[in-house]
Amino acid sequence: MKSTTDLLNIIKNSKDEALKQTIDTIKEMSFSEYFDYLCRIKEVSRSDIIKQTNLSRTYAYQIFDGSKKAGRDKIIQIALALKGSLKETERLLKLSGHSPLYSKIRRDAVLIFAIEHQLTAIAANELLDDFQFECLE
């Protein structure tokens, strides 16, 4: 799989036919595929994620396989359990149909801090509470 930067450079410098060939090689990932990919590279099991997020097992597996659409806070909880980077978290959010975190929104700024410092969901909720923001639900 090519990096985003490599792919962008190829697209910028392509002629019409090369662009078509490049476009044909791009495989768009679903939330489920990207989640599974992150679990593999981070060597985390689905059951570990469930334990750390306190999601019900059935609901969690429905989110993981894409049959249920989770709310933005649930996706953030999953990303925290994965110890995902900000970039990985934002990609999970986008693939699940949610807006990325925005640093000019105060609650999002606290969540960005939690992600960057690899806090647990519980620690992130404590931090949100300290700043009198709604906890992750």
Smallest CA-to-CA distance from 93 within 66, 119, 113, 73 is with 73
Indicate the pTM of the whole model.
0.81
In a domain, 21, yes or no: no
Single-letter residue type at 104: K
Structural domain span for residue 67: 29-130
pLDDT on residue 16: 67
In a domain, 12, yes or no: no
25-30 CB contacts, 8 Å cutoff, 24+ apart: 29/95, 30/66, 30/95
Domain tally, the chain = 1
Q: At what angle do helices 72-82 and 106-116 cross, to 10 degrees?
A: 20
pLDDT on residue 65: 92
In a domain, 8, yes or no: no
In a domain, 103, yes or no: yes
Six-digit token string for 54: 């306190």
Coil/strand/helix, residue 97 = coil
CA–CA distance, 76 with 90 (Å, rounded to integer)? 9
In a domain, 64, yes or no: yes
pLDDT tens digits for range 65-93: 989 999 999 999 999 999 999 999 999 99
Query: What mean pLDDT value characterizes the chain?
Result: 89
In a domain, 2, yes or no: no
* Cα–Cα–Cα angle for 116, 114, 65, rounded to 5 degrees: 90
Six-digit token string for 53: 């997020």
> The tokens 């306190």 sit on which residue?
54
